Structure 1
Amino acid sequence: MRISVEWLNDYIDLSDKSAPELANALSLSGTEVESVEYPWNYIEGAFTGRIEAVEDHPNADNLVVTKVNVGEKTYQIVTADKSVRTGEYVAVILSGGKLWNLEIKDRKFRGINSEGMFISLEELKLEEKSETVFRFSEPVETGKDIREALKLNSAVIEVELTANRGDCLSMFGISRELRAIYRKDFELPRADIEENPKEEIEIILDEGCKRYTALLMNDVTVKDSPLWLKRRLVAAGLRPINNVVDITNYVMLETGHPVHAFDADLIGGNRIIVRKARNGEKLTLLDGKEVSLIESDLLITNGEEPLALAGIMGGLKSGISSDTTRVLLEVAVFDPITIRKTARRLGISTDSSYRFERGVDASDSVYVIKRLASMISELSGASVSSKISDVGTPPKNIEIHLRKWFVDKVLGTVVPIEEIENILKYLGFDLEESGDGWDVKVPPYRYDISQEVDLVEEIGRIYGYEKVPSILPRILPGQENIPVEIKEIRRLKRILTASGYNEVINYSFINPEKLKKISGDFDPPMLKNPLSLDLSAMRPNIAFGLLETASYNFRRQNRDLKIFEAGNVFENTETVNEHLSVALLAMGRENADDYTDKRTISPYTFKGTIESILQLYGVEYSFKPASESWLEKRAAADVIVKGEKIGYFGIFDSGIADRVFEIKGQDLFVAELNIDRLIELKRTVIEEMAISPFPRVFRDLSLLIPYRSEFSEIEESIKKHGGENLASVKIMDIYKGKAIPDGYRSITVTLTFESFENTLTDEEISSAIEEIISALKNIGVNLREQ
């Protein structure tokens, strides 16, 4: 929101305050100030002047030579605008002045020297395209700085408002804030009109429209807006169009209530019906864009044809043009959720929708339409031709009991009673003493106030948080009462950071369209009110957020990455189910900071990190081929605990990584574990390590294993038939190549035998080996011959 200081002075006297002072006061009271600007500072050395003489250029038919009195001196200026006349007052930039980055210098035009240039409204950004130079409508003092003469030297304060402070999206709203800060009077402009019973307007509302107020006006003359109106609109960031449209924009910026003007002759009667759109219904908007509508969209219609997309933009067919002579004025209050959904779905954001999405005052409709009509009457010569039709009931004021002791407790300081009362009154609240405090009526434009603590916040921000003393909290020793989930997350983070992983935090939302590109199996819970279309689904896992982070880093040449994130994921069951998970992602070198370490991350080192997490919970785990379609089968597995899948890990599909995340040329490892289930399955493991006094015996077996076989089955068979002295089974080597039949691979395992009673003999070991080999043959695994 851009706030013109000159405009503010219409409602509250701020003549004794500078723009930086106002900006600082707003910042301290909770309104974030982005900048203080002077929009016309790009003009330097421009002055008012009076044309003393106009002569034809001796060497050019399309040029004239003028003499211009600029205060104490007369200058010669050559111009292509042959409409200039002696005695006219104009704006001129003299040699040495600047326009944007262009320095104005003396210049010869076909042999005649020009000592400056005339200015048009186009150069002043007050007109899209100028056909002639600018003339003052009445005599002015010559030699006066043009910015001062046209009031272009006023500052503009740009503020960034939070979504709950829609009441400040107006000059009135900011004026109310400054009234409370400086304790000054605030006066609304008059809005007097005489209604005409000659015509009536029939209005029928849908539930998506809370109130609709309308008025007809005749004898409208559509023309250029006066300079003061253009100046204020440009300062606020809007483009002047014509007097009727400019007035609707002006009143919106002034009151914060969006309004609209229809060409009454194009409506086809004095009937307005607000209804839901029909599926597939079309409407061409004022910007020429045709939109296809659905049943949740809200329309303004004449009973048959749509006239406007409610709260967002008018229709092209009923828009104001230079031929318009009758207008129907609209001041409506629409349901914020309905407007927000339509605007987001169609990708349209307007000044009107921006305000309706945050809520507008439903009690000021009659005042706003009178203000609108009075300005149109004044600036276009129009007359009121109907009664004000007003359908819908404004909501009743909320009443909240505010306790004095509660104010002091929450703010941590004693605020004088008189100060509390003054702050609330100047902010527009009505209050009456009651018991231990006040009964406070909330003004209808403060729809963000609903409870007692909201009132305390209002008092605190205007009173000044700098007046609240800074006192260190008193902390008494006591029993630690930290939730189990937080303790487990802390332990996880310590393990992962010790393993070289960095923590990241992403949104819990994801782009559903990108999700479909990864896999069509996902059905994530959808948000009813998303921040944007790209963040409209709840994440079904954390790993995809890490992939976005990896993509961002990869495209910026950071190709060595180890990251993790812990948080909730969401499943679309009968109700939305969520659980705590941790996800890891790694790519590139194993140790990027050690130039002597040339290793890249491998499936085995990544698997080791997963195992370190599982061992933290003391669970017995196993691995099975991964069920995720977006993991490469060559190196991916599901993590199984007590027959239940509690996670997965592996290499992300390289094709999807390239196509969706723009990562290519290296393996991308991802993993995710369900921490909630691990906490439930957790075992406290206290193992007694016994050391045998007798030597261990080691035997290696090279086995031919079909590709379809799972090592977990082979390991289980070895342990089952290896006898009581078999202590461990470990893989020592995997080989694929010469002498290995197609469809097989060779895996060498080391078997460790150990006895606590005697030294093992060759016969005992050989007997166990024979049992193992025999059992392995039954599952299709043979001893490798060579």
Structure 2
Amino acid sequence: MKVTYNWLKDYIQFDETPQELADKLTEAGFEVEEMYPLYPDFSGVIVGKVESVKKHPDADKLSVCIVNDGQERYQVICGAPNVAEGQTIPFAKIGAELPNGFKIKKVKIRGVESFGMICSREELGLEDKSDGIWVIKRDYRPGSDLNQLLQEEQDIVYDFFITPNRPDCLSVYGIAREVAAITGNRLRFPEFNMAEDRSQKAADMVSVSIEDLEGCPRYAARVIRGVTVCPSPEWMQKRLKAVGIRPINNIVDITNYVLMEVGHPLHAFDLKEIKGNEIRVRASRINEKFTTLDGKEREIPEKTVMICDKERAVAIGGIMGGQNSEVSDSTTDILLECAYFNPRRIAVSAKKLGLSSEASQRFERGVDPNGVLRAIDRAASLIGDLGSGKILSGVVDVYSEPIKPAVVSFRPERVNKVLGASLNKETIVQKLQSIQLDVNGNQVTVPTFRVDLKNEIDLIEEVARLVNFSNLPSKKTTVVRYEFEQAQGEVLLQFLRRQMLDIGLQEILTNSMLNKEDAVLFEQNTEPIHILNPISDDMSAVRPSLLPGMLKSVAYNINRNQFNLHFFEIGRVFTDYRPNELPHQPYHLAAMITGNRYPEHWSQKSVAVDFYDIKGLLETFLDKIFLDNIEFI
């Protein structure tokens, strides 16, 4: 998730330097994987003006340009298809050094000399791929140092690693919310003007129905008429490029901008392509096919949420729009969609389709179902401002079963017990309130954008990270008190384990699964119990005895010249299987010794263990567990 330093300042004021902010967010659980300046350093590149463009006399795809730097004119060979007379461009003079280390020299190309280079944004390190030279739209004076001009607008880009349980932070506003909690400063959302056309209602223009409520609990639509599709303003393009999104046009860019701003995906349909001015949300049909925005026809998996008009599907809900209803240069009326989809359904469909988008990544983790109206209003207001459109009055909002904030039981005193800290109740409550949780006695109301907070321990973890883990006391040892007594069976097993260790045996743990052939050797009365879906043939049955695993352990050690072995194992065996019932699973104890009776020593000869050694160990063990009335037969 990419965010810029200055974009964050639209929502919260803070004094931390870029590095200090990165450190604080990392300590709060948001790892900054990368941090870099928006504009890299370069030298010798100035603002130039293209005075003329002529075809190269000996190359079809090259042009001979005359570039003016405000004082002199330079002849430059250019291969970009978009170079034209009158353009303001970045001009790298001889001796300039680009961000990739390339130095500009005087060259001769097909017999014509070139005294510099007209640069693209890619060559200046401003984007990954460019289709042509950078045509500068700003009123820069020819001859100005371009690097210096860009440094005046410098920004820092953060690339955060956001864990799957924190979809609320897959947005600039979500990160700003965390900055507010860390710094204690006030969070604000930019004010926007929702100038609706009261003479027309959206509900009179379009209708929305949801047939698949499980897949789409909420769907909202707005209508904006009379829009002009054109390039989005430079400030918006700059921000989208900074976070890795390619600008397309003002309508698409606005939906992407709001997606990155508040983390809620939207989609814009060309209203004239929506048959019957009707939206129906349904589950996919068997063998249904659909052509997505990327031009690929896809077979839609079963139970995929489909957005349809009166006659056909127009989008795969929460994943990607359709080619048959996309916004084009001729679009004048927009149907703007903002919805909440079932995360599980989106995750399953996206995986089966092999189609991961910015929208699906957020929907499958869980967006805020109650943030739909803010997102759609924000986008509609921007379309009204930047697309010269009229916003029809009202929102068509189908939300039959509103999703309510969760209420979690919380004991403030338990925080210190779990964290080993000594925080007072006021601090604990303040930390929870700083992330917009409502604390009322022993009840905490969790807003719907925090899908990860479900239990008391989740709230304790929030307190820990906001206090800062490094501020919590550290201990080399911690006393763990059992709140519940151990089961009698477990107490008995531990007692037996201690007695075996006391008589000099070493505990081993062997696999409870083995191959069928070995199992047959130790199950004399019935067929061994087979595993229905074994991970390998060597683990296709469960053990009827502890002996197969112990023998393998002995063999393994002997093969590595370890002969003096004193092993025991306590574990379950599996016998007496009957259909539709679990097998009998009693605990068994087995011991095995091999090698010499005593460790080798110069003062005595080595003596191999025999029956009487194992008999003596058994008698000692039975005596220790108070079984003295025994008889060997």
TM range (shorter): 0.7 to 0.9
1:272 corresponds to: 279
Partner of 1:204: 209
Matched, 1:181 2:171: no
Partner amino acid, structure 2, of 1:90: I
Deviation at 1:5, TM superposition (A): 1.8
**Deviations 1:648-670 (Å, cap 9, x if unpaired)?**
xxxxxxxxxxxxxxxxxxxxxxx
For 1:369, the equivalent position in structure 2 comes to 376
Amino acid across the alignment from 1:248: T
Q: Residue 75 and residue 423 in structure 1: after superposition, are their counterparts in 2 closer, same or farther (change >3 A)?
A: farther
Match of 2:67 in 1: 66
Q: CA, structure 1 residues 455+79, in 2 after alignment: closer, same or farther (shift >3 Å)?
A: same
SS in 1 for 2:66: strand
| CA distance in structure 2 between the partners assigned to 1:90 and 1:119 by the alignment | 7
Q: In structure 1, what is the Cα distance between the partners aligned to 2:151 and 2:335?
A: 33
Larger proportion of strand = 1
Aligned to 1:669: none
Opposite residue 74 of structure 2, the aligned amino acid is Q
User: Residue 650 of structure 1 corresponds to which residue in structure 2?
Assistant: none
Question: Which residue does 1:531 correspond to in 2?
Answer: none
Quick one: structure 1 residues 459 and 617, their matched pair in 2 at CA, closer, same or farther if it must change by over 3 Å? closer
- Tell me the distance in 1 between the aligned counterparts of 2:301 and 2:240: 34
Q: 1:48 to 1:402 in 2, by over 3 A?
A: farther
Tell me the equivalent position of 1:118. Answer: 118
Instruction: Report the AA paired with residue 171 of structure 2.
Output: S
Counterpart Cα distance in 1 of 2:335 and 2:546: 57
Specify the alignment match of 2:474 in structure 1: 470
**Whole-Å Cα distance in 1 between the matches of residues 459 and 269 of structure 2?**
40
Q: Following superposition of structure 1 onto structure 2, how do residues 382-401 of structure 1 map, counting pairs within 5 Å?
A: 382-392=389-399, 393-401=401-409
Q: Which amino acid aligns with 2:97?
A: G
CA contact under 8 A between 1:48 and 1:89: conserved in structure 2? no
1:405 partner SS: helix
1:458 matched to 2:462:
yes
**CA 1:570–1:219 in structure 2 vs 1: closer, same or farther (change >3 Å)?**
farther
Letter in 1 for 2:421: T
**8 Å contact 1:29–1:464 — kept in the other structure?**
yes
Distance of aligned partners of 1:26 and 1:485 in 2 relative to their CA distance in 1, 3 Å threshold:
farther
TM-score (norm 1): 0.60
The 1-side partners of 2:481 and 2:416 are apart by 26
**DSSP 3-state at the match of 1:184:** coil
Percent same amino acid at aligned positions? Answer: 32
Superposed, 1:483-494 pairs within 5 Å as: 484=493
Query: Match for residue 379 of structure 1?
Result: 386
Give 2:74's aligned residue.
76
Residues 228 and 332 in structure 2, CA contact (< 8 A), matched pair in contact too: yes
Which amino acid is 1:202 matched to? S
Rounded Cα–Cα distance in structure 1 between residues aligned with 2:411 and 2:348: 39
Cα contact 2:69–2:142 (8 A) shared by 1: no
Q: Offset at 1:178?
A: 0.6
- Distance in 2 (alpha carbons) for counterparts of 1:486 and 1:361: 52
Letter in 2 for 1:689: F
The residue that corresponds to 2:97 in the other structure is 97
TM-score relative to the length of structure 2: 0.74
Q: Cα RMSD (Å) of the superposition?
A: 4.6
Shift of residue 179, structure 1, vs aligned partner: 0.7
Q: 1:429 aligns with which of 430, 437, 443?
A: 437
Question: Residue in 2 aligned with 1:135?
Answer: 136
Distance of aligned partners of 1:222 and 1:439 in 2 relative to their CA distance in 1, 3 Å threshold: same
| Partner of residue 358, structure 2 | 351
Going from structure 1 to structure 2, the CA distance change for 1:472 and 1:325 (only over 3 Å counts) comes to: same
Alpha carbons 1:617, 1:679 under 8 Å: kept: no
Deviation at 1:31, TM superposition (A): 1.5
Contact conserved, 1:36 with 1:157, CA < 8 A, in 2?
A: yes
> C-alpha separation between the residues in 1 aligned to 2:546 and 2:468?
41
> Is contact 1:91-1:146 (8 Å) kept?
no
Deviation at 1:158, TM superposition (A): 1.4
Tell me the residue number matched to 1:17: 16
Amino acid at match of 2:182: I
How far 1:326 sits from its partner (Å)? 1.5
SS at structure 2 position matched to 1:91: strand
Alignment partners' CA distance in 2, 1:83 and 1:314 = 34
Is 1:410 the counterpart of 2:418 in the alignment?
A: yes
Listed one character per residue, the Cα deviations across residues 295-343 of structure 1 (whole Å, up to 9, x for unaligned) are 4111111133111111111111111222222211000001111111111
1:363–1:150 CA distance, 2 compared to 1 (3 A): farther
Distance 1:336 1:493, change over 3 A: farther
Aligned equivalents of 2:481, 2:435: Cα separation in 1: 43
Question: 1:212 touches 1:391 (CA, 8 Å); kept in 2?
Answer: yes
Match of 1:301 in 2: 308
> Does the C-alpha gap of structure 1 residues 259 and 78 become closer, same or farther in structure 2, counting only changes over 3 Å?
same
User: Alpha-carbon deviation of 1:424?
Assistant: 2.6
Point out the more displaced range, 334-343 or 231-240: 231-240
Q: Can you list the C-alpha shifts for 1:241-274, whole angstroms capped at 9, x where unaligned?
A: 2221121111111111011111111111221111
Q: Is the 8 A contact 2:53 2:64 kept in 1?
A: no
Mark the CA change 1:52 to 1:364 in structure 2 (over 3 Å): closer, same or farther: closer
* Compared CA separation, residues 477 and 63, structure 1 to 2 (3 A): closer
Q: 1:263 touches 1:326 (CA, 8 Å); kept in 2?
A: yes
Contact 1:194 1:384 in 2 (8 A): yes
Q: 2:410 touches 2:444 (CA, 8 Å); kept in 1? A: yes
> CA–CA distance in 1 between the matches of 2:574 and 2:262?
63
What corresponds to 2:522 in structure 1? none
1:400-445 superposed Cα distances (whole Å, 9 cap, x missing partner): 454432232222222244433432333122345x4xxx64332221
How big is the shift at 1:204?
1.0
Alpha-carbon shift at residue 275 of structure 1 (Å): 0.8
2:549 equivalent to 1:541: no
SS at 2:136 equivalent:
coil
Secondary structure at the counterpart of residue 269 of structure 1: helix
Distance verdict in 2 for CA 1:158–1:128, change over 3 Å: closer
Matches within 5 A, 1:254-269: 254-269=261-276
Cα distance, 1:542 vs structure 2: 4.8
Structure 2 residue aligned with 1:27:
26
Kept in 2, the 8 Å contact 1:55–1:66? The answer is: no
Aligned counterparts of 1:4 and 1:97: Cα–Cα separation in 2: 26
* Partner Cα separation in structure 1 for residue 452 and residue 270 of structure 2: 36
Task: For residue 474 of structure 1, report the CA deviation from its aligned partner.
Answer: 5.4
Superimposed CA distance per residue, residues 215-263 of structure 1 (whole angstroms, 9 cap, x where no aligned partner): 1112222222333222222221222222211211111111110111111
Q: Give distance in 2, aligned partners of 1:177 and 1:617.
A: 50
Partners of 2:330 and 2:588 lie apart in 1 by 77
1:159 counterpart SS class: strand
Would you say the 8 A contact 1:38–1:156 is kept in 2? yes
User: Matched residue of 2:287: which SS?
Assistant: coil
Point out where structure 1 has 5 or more consecutive residues left out of the alignment: 498-502, 504-521, 525-539, 547-564, 572-578, 598-607, 620-639, 646-675, 692-786
Give the 3-state SS of the residue equivalent to 2:195 in structure 1. coil
**What is the identity, as a one-letter code, of the residue corresponding to 2:116?**
G
Question: What's the counterpart of residue 35 of structure 2?
Answer: 36
Q: What SS does the corresponding residue of 1:149 show, helix, strand or coil?
A: helix
Structure 2 residue runs of 5 or longer lacking an equivalent are 512-529, 594-608, 614-633
9 and 541 in structure 1: CA distance in 2 versus 1, 3 angstrom threshold: same
Q: Using a 3 Å threshold, how does the CA distance of structure 1 residues 495 and 471 change in structure 2: closer, same or farther?
A: closer
Following superposition of structure 1 onto structure 2, how do residues 338-737 of structure 1 map, counting pairs within 5 Å? 338-392=345-399, 393-432=401-440, 434=441, 439-473=443-477, 484=493, 540-543=533-536, 680=587, 682=589, 689=611
Tell me the matched-pair count. Answer: 547
Per-residue deviation at 1:147?
A: 7.3
Cα distance, 1:369–1:483 mapped onto 2, change above 3 Å: farther
Residue pair 2:575, 2:585 contacting (<8 A) in 1 also: no
Larger radius of gyration: 1
